[in-house]
Structure 1
Amino acid sequence: MLRLLTIEFHKLKYSRSTLIFSAIYLVLFCFLALFASIHFEFGNVDFQLADQGIFNFPYIWHFNAYFASFLKIFLAIVIVSMISNEYSNRTIKQNLIDGLSKKEFILSKIYTVVAFALISTLVLFVVSLVLGLIFSDYNEFSIIFSELEYLIAYFVKLLGFFAFCMFLGVLIKRSAFALGLLFIWWIAESIIINVFRFVIFKDGELTAKFSQFLPLESMANLVKQPFSRLSLVKSAQNQMGTDILSNDYVIHWYQLLIVLIWVAIFFYGSYTLLKKRDL
């Protein structure tokens, strides 16, 4: 495994696009800390975002995992480019000539995808821990390290998304078209969900039970919006007598399992495509 990872990271460090998008990802990730310290002034009102409780333990794990997941597209570009460059630069053929089997080639990509997801989760943990220690009103050990399941959900979510991007990269061979197909797939899922909700089932609960098995939707379900947990939002909803936002933010084991099954399907599909393809 270490040998295959070394080969991949050796390729990536000479890729300009990889370095650029990875840097953008890390900068935007760390921008959370800067954003938290900004004071907003509206007339006589002066407030700091961190004072609103969004960085309190253990809520911060949920909040940061939700917003950090939007940045995954930058690493997705890196992964798709990593695959497409193998074809455009013909390094995949050279690797096979040099003695690397197709199985080892795919494993090297899988290990890289897992490494990206692990590193991203570690960055999320460090950034969230630092922000929490600075801004949180609750610093008890038991509170700080509660609800860390959101980090697990975040890791699985990234792993699923990156595995999907890897599969599209192997399938299409061109990064721009692979990313385009990813966008089309997202639109298609949205259309399917709305058709089932407003035409076939005409019921939101039945639609949710069906849509949770779709790849992108299953990943989105792992870390849902955190706003309904804020006391300010809860108070507003109680006063209005309605639930504006969904209150189901619990991470269920079967949701993790669904995404992990998709991960296995995408990894196996990538290997099957490469195995049957004449290079």
Structure 2
Amino acid sequence: MAFMVYYLRLEWLKFRKNGVFQMMVLVYSILLPLILLAVKSMNISVPGLSPRMVVEFPTIWSFLAYSGSWLAYFFLGFLAIYIFSSEFSQRTFRQNIISGLTREELFLSKIGFLLVISFLASLYYLICVLVMGYLYTPAEKLAGVFDRSSHFLRYWLMCSGYMSLAILITVVIRRTAASVFIYFAYTIFIEPMIRWFFHKGFADNRSMHFYPANAFEDLTPLPLGDVSITKDLVESGDLDIYLTPLEASLTSVIYILLFVMASYYLIKTKDL
């Protein structure tokens, strides 16, 4: 445990003054609460969706998790790519091994650092939920403050999932620009095409939802059940486009473990 704290401290000292790291963290921190506050200030003409609903308990848990998932996908995914690819481009992996560190220690320090970032991003989500929720929720609705608190764990899994996928891609590609391109290309184009054009062709059932990026996305989906025009479809099962929270959580844990183990294998066996 002591050695892990030591290596995490080294990672923090290495990146705390890094401009890219600071920018990603700052933009994420500003946009996470700002998006919902902006929606609250708009005149939304969607039946059953009032502007205040997005910042009131218990629905704020779902709406902030959904908007935050896009920020995590872009900014935390990019941050994971940058942290790993910079080690390859600057050859600091090799220098650290020459200095006496093992590949296992190097990998664990990186993974540990990114898991801490993922947890802190989720903790910030929790703080934003509680602060904004208490500020904007009428007193008569405060009984439901923690009705959807399971979103906190799913949010952490979502952040960790996108970052683990980004890490694996970076360990394979090793170059920042190419890794960023593949990361976004896979999640936006490649996986959806595989699911809807190939998988659906030979197995048109719910199995097409169990792909990694889709599982991470379904951890914090758009809360259609909170909007009256889609609520009946969701409750009747006619709008079965998401994994259940349990399915998404278990699937995500499996993919995270697979991606981390695959990344570790490549770091351990390939030339650095």
What range describes the TM-score normalised by the shorter chain of this pair? 0.7 to 0.9
Deviation at 1:61, TM superposition (A): 0.4
> Whole-Å Cα distance in 2 between the matches of residues 278 and 130 of structure 1?
48
Deviation at 1:150, TM superposition (A): 1.1
Q: What is the aligned counterpart of 2:209 among 212, 230, 242?
A: 212
Change beyond 3 A, Cα 1:162–1:138 = farther
Deviation at 1:192, TM superposition (A): 1.2
Matches within 5 A, 1:143-158: 143-158=144-159
User: Aligned pair 1:107/2:108, yes or no?
Assistant: yes
Deviation at 1:221, TM superposition (A): 1.7
Q: What is the aligned counterpart of 1:193 among 177, 192, 195?
A: 195
Matches within 5 A, 1:247-262: 251-262=244-255
Match of 1:45 in 2: none
Matches within 5 A, 1:99-248: 99-137=100-138, 142-186=143-187, 187-196=189-198, 199-201=201-203, 203=204, 206=205, 209-231=206-228, 233=229, 246=239
Partner letter of residue 102 of structure 1? R
Deviation at 1:211, TM superposition (A): 2.2
Match of 1:70 in 2: 70
Match of 1:57 in 2: 57
Change beyond 3 A, Cα 1:83–1:98 = same
User: Aligned pair 1:10/2:51, yes or no?
Assistant: no
Task: Give the structure-1-normalised TM-score.
Answer: 0.84
Contact preservation (8 Å) 2:154, 2:220: yes
Partner letter of residue 194 of structure 2? I
Change beyond 3 A, Cα 1:248–1:173 = closer
Contact preservation (8 Å) 1:223, 1:251: no
Q: CA RMSD in A?
A: 2.7
> Whole-Å Cα distance in 2 between the matches of residues 218 and 82 of structure 1?
24
Contact preservation (8 Å) 2:200, 2:208: no
Match of 2:261 in 1: 268
Deviation at 1:227, TM superposition (A): 3.1
Change beyond 3 A, Cα 1:119–1:71 = same
Change beyond 3 A, Cα 1:198–1:167 = closer
Deviation at 1:10, TM superposition (A): 1.2
> Whole-Å Cα distance in 1 between the matches of residues 50 and 58 of structure 2?
17
Unaligned runs of 5+ in 2: none
> Whole-Å Cα distance in 1 between the matches of residues 44 and 80 of structure 2?
41
Name the larger-Rg structure: 1
Contact preservation (8 Å) 2:57, 2:142: no
Contact preservation (8 Å) 1:189, 1:214: yes
Runs of 4+ in 1 over 6 A off after TM superposition: 242-245, 247-250
User: Identity across aligned pairs (percent)?
Assistant: 24
User: Aligned pair 1:38/2:37, yes or no?
Assistant: no
Query: SS in structure 2 opposite 1:94?
Result: helix
Match of 1:21 in 2: 24
Partner letter of residue 58 of structure 1? P
> Whole-Å Cα distance in 2 between the matches of residues 210 and 22 of structure 1?
35
Change beyond 3 A, Cα 1:278–1:172 = same
Change beyond 3 A, Cα 1:21–1:212 = same
Match of 1:89 in 2: 90
> CA offsets per residue over residues 109-159 of structure 1, 9 Å max, x none?
111121111111111111111111111135666410121111111111111
